[in-house]
Chain A
Amino acid sequence: MSEAQNLNRARFDVPETSMIFARGVRKSFGAVEVLKGVDVDVAEGSVTCIIGPSGSGKSTFLRCMNHLEKLSGGVILIDGNFVGYDLVGDRLIELKDKLVCQRRAEIGMLFQSFNLFSHMTVMENLIEAPVRVRRMPKAEAEADALTLLARVGLSDKAASYPRELSGGQQQRVAIARALAMKPKALLFDEPTSALDPELVGEVLNVMRDLAKSGMTMVIVTHEIAFAREIGDQLIFMDDGVVVEKGDPKEMIENPQSPRTREFLSRVL
């Protein structure tokens, strides 16, 4: 761990075990404030699920974590690092694009719409970032890719184009593609929402295995049962704030806030 990371951790009282540390995160689009001071802790190797009504800022919060959106206020530290900045004295100095990219590459992100590169085969999708961004030798990247494809159960699809795969297969390839960068954490934005019901299971299975293997994950999801099963922490967001967070089982059985109760009663 670098000196800067240790300094940051000391400066912000970041717990030893923290992988993602968010304090007072604010984000506005023009005059509209979408995140109104969000505090979240994600321990290394843990699974955090975020639920909440549409438009409550869940996606925006995920996107802030890997600096796809710039914060309007507050801090997010990933493994003790700011993704888009360096702290010098009291000032956050915006990093050069190159460094932002390097740090962003350490956090994988999965999307509702999979977003596989449609002009590339599955194999090309998997080796693109390792080879181009990390400058990994192609042969090594391909060997890694084959291991990852086996892990998500798609060894025979290396030469296929995304269009030839089902939604569930595409999302599993997308997970393998994110894993190919050996990320410190994975962010999932409604990974199963675009899938036909019978395909949801295969993606959740892969995610379950990942959780067991100790991957740090933040999952925005509507699959309450899944969140309850594999989540170490459940967060309910509404209107740009964290309304309630805690142990998934306790929270689902006995929500403290009326807003949580009302939301759960609608989706369960």
Chain B
Amino acid sequence: MSAHDANNNAQVQSASETVASLKVVPQKQYGLWIGTALVLVLMYFIIRAFAVNPAFEWDVARSYMFHPSIMRGLYNTLLLTVIIMVVATILGTIIAIMRVSRSEILNGFAGVYVWFFRGVPALIQLIFWFNLSLLVSNISISLPFVGEVFSVRTNDFMTPFFSAVVALALCEAGYMAEIIRAGIKSVPSGQAEAATALGMPYRMILKRVTLPQAMRFVVPPTGNEAINLLKMTSLVTFIAVDDLFYSAQSIYARTFETIPLLIVVSTWYLAVVSIMSVGQYFLERHFGRSDKRNETLFDTWLRAIVGRKNRSNADV
């Protein structure tokens, strides 16, 4: 072996060694560091301000956290949110289906519905329904020749709670209808066409093919809607439904402990919103299960923990 060859060999060796030992020096992100430092400083001041300032009266807030009126208020807020969301989703689905129907009249009606109930502020709708009993004292249905078949005094059932449900559900249904309509529109038309060719009737196609696929597009904005609604229910304070906010108000109207009670209320709203976000995450995962490309790190991690449960459910 000549010296030249040996030299060459050494060179090859060192080249591959160099490749193996190359170090990557990450880009220096000075901006990011400065930003982080600024935010940390800011957080320190904010937290200190909140913790030290006597106006916040944390002890008082803590003592009211599980106060019976607050608990009743929280219960009513949750109840309102759930009932309204359920009614609004059902109503919204019906209106969305009308909106994509071939009938011009159904389509037009649904359009006007959405236009009206999304356009008028929720608070005004709420007060309107609450006052309905003053404007119309009886609701009756009369048929020609048969006469009155149904009559009811509005005061008997237009309790504040019921007015709140009607007003906010009608309003929320307008938003839900638009979300669901967008979801239906985002399902490729070939899906319904293939189902039609297989002999499935229109309603079955909606139920089995179009709506389930629309769900993937509907769930994320619906989660936002539900969170918005939870907060929107605080409007019912104006018509004296004792929700979370109303209960807090009636306490601080007596004791003047306004800020601690607002802290109590905010804490509860935040807690509920956090729980809802987790629920939303699981719903999204459920409806997106046919598309694994969108799997996040958290998904992979969860799947490892839960095992292949989701998959084996999907197996037939």
Residues of A bordering B, CB below 8 Å: 66, 68, 97-98, 101-102, 104-109, 111, 113, 115-121, 123-124, 127-129, 132-133, 142, 158-159, 161-164, 174, 177-178, 181
- Given known pairs A68-B197, A98-B201, the reply for A163 and B290 (CB within 8 Å) is yes
Minimum CB–CB distance from B308 to chain A (whole Å) comes to: 11
Interface residues of B in 265-316 (CB under 8 A from A): 290-293, 311, 314-316
Contact in complex: B201, A101 (CB < 8 Å): yes
Interface residues of B in 184-242 (CB under 8 A from A): 188, 190-191, 193-202, 204, 208-209, 212-213, 216
Contact in complex: B213, A118 (CB < 8 Å): yes
17 CB < 8 A contacts A-B: A105-B199, A106-B199, A111-B193, A113-B188, A115-B191, A117-B194, A118-B213, A118-B290, A119-B212, A120-B290, A124-B316, A129-B198, A159-B314, A161-B290, A163-B290, A163-B291, A178-B197
What is the CA–CA distance of A155 and B150 in the complex, to the nearest angstrom? 61
Residues of B bordering A, CB below 8 Å: 188, 190-191, 193-202, 204, 208-209, 212-213, 216, 290-293, 311, 314-316
Contacts of A118 on B, CB cut-off 8 Å? 191, 213, 290-291
Contact in complex: B200, A119 (CB < 8 Å): no
- Given known pairs A117-B209, A118-B213, A142-B316, the reply for A133 and B199 (CB within 8 Å) is yes
The 6 closest A-B pairs by CB, nearest first: A105-B199, A115-B194, A109-B197, A129-B198, A115-B190, A123-B316
Interface centre among B199, B202, B216, B316 (most CB of A within 10 A): B199
Contact in complex: B190, A113 (CB < 8 Å): yes
Contacts of B216 on A, CB cut-off 8 Å? 119
Contact in complex: A133, B190 (CB < 8 Å): no
Contact in complex: A111, B290 (CB < 8 Å): no
Contact in complex: A102, B199 (CB < 8 Å): yes
Contact in complex: A104, B316 (CB < 8 Å): no
Contact in complex: B290, A119 (CB < 8 Å): yes
Contact in complex: A133, B198 (CB < 8 Å): yes
The total number of A-B Cβ pairs within 8 Å is 89
Interface centre among B195, B197, B202, B208 (most CB of A within 10 A): B197
Contacts of A66 on B, CB cut-off 8 Å? 197
Interface residue from B193, B199, B204, B315 paired with A181 (Cβ < 8 Å): B199
Quick one: closest B residue to A106, CB to CB?
Answer: B199
Minimum CB–CB distance from B307 to chain A (whole Å) comes to: 16
Contact in complex: A159, B315 (CB < 8 Å): yes
Minimum CB–CB distance from A33 to chain B (whole Å) comes to: 22
Quick one: closest B residue to A127, CB to CB?
Answer: B316
Contacts of A117 on B, CB cut-off 8 Å? 191, 194-195, 209, 213
What is the CA–CA distance of A115 and B196 in the complex, to the nearest angstrom? 11
Contacts of A177 on B, CB cut-off 8 Å? 198
Interface residue from A97, A111, A142 paired with B190 (Cβ < 8 Å): A111
What is the CA–CA distance of A98 and B314 in the complex, to the nearest angstrom? 30
Contacts of B212 on A, CB cut-off 8 Å? 119
Contact in complex: A121, B316 (CB < 8 Å): yes
Contacts of B199 on A, CB cut-off 8 Å? 101-102, 104-106, 129, 133, 181
Contacts of B201 on A, CB cut-off 8 Å? 97-98, 101
Interface residue from A97, A106, A115, A128 paired with B202 (Cβ < 8 Å): A97
Quick one: closest B residue to A118, CB to CB?
Answer: B290
Quick one: closest B residue to A105, CB to CB?
Answer: B199
What is the CA–CA distance of A65 and B291 in the complex, to the nearest angstrom? 34
What is the CA–CA distance of A174 and B190 in the complex, to the nearest angstrom? 13
Contacts of A68 on B, CB cut-off 8 Å? 193, 196-197
Contact in complex: A101, B316 (CB < 8 Å): no
Known: A119-B290, A129-B199, A163-B291. 10 other contacts (CB 8 A): A97-B201, A97-B202, A101-B199, A102-B199, A111-B190, A115-B193, A119-B212, A121-B316, A159-B315, A161-B290
Interface residue from A124, A129, A163 paired with B200 (Cβ < 8 Å): A129
Contact in complex: A104, B196 (CB < 8 Å): yes
What is the CA–CA distance of A106 and B195 in the complex, to the nearest angstrom? 13
Contacts of A124 on B, CB cut-off 8 Å? 316
Quick one: closest B residue to A126, CB to CB?
Answer: B316
Contact in complex: A132, B194 (CB < 8 Å): no
Contacts of A109 on B, CB cut-off 8 Å? 194, 197
Contacts of A108 on B, CB cut-off 8 Å? 197-198
Contacts of A163 on B, CB cut-off 8 Å? 290-293
Minimum CB–CB distance from A134 to chain B (whole Å) comes to: 8
Contact in complex: A121, B314 (CB < 8 Å): yes
Contacts of B293 on A, CB cut-off 8 Å? 163
Minimum CB–CB distance from A130 to chain B (whole Å) comes to: 9
Contact in complex: B315, A121 (CB < 8 Å): yes
Contact in complex: B194, A133 (CB < 8 Å): no
Contacts of A178 on B, CB cut-off 8 Å? 197-198
Quick one: closest A residue to B212, CB to CB?
Answer: A119
Contacts of A113 on B, CB cut-off 8 Å? 188, 190
What is the CA–CA distance of A128 and B204 in the complex, to the nearest angstrom? 11
Quick one: closest B residue to A138, CB to CB?
Answer: B316
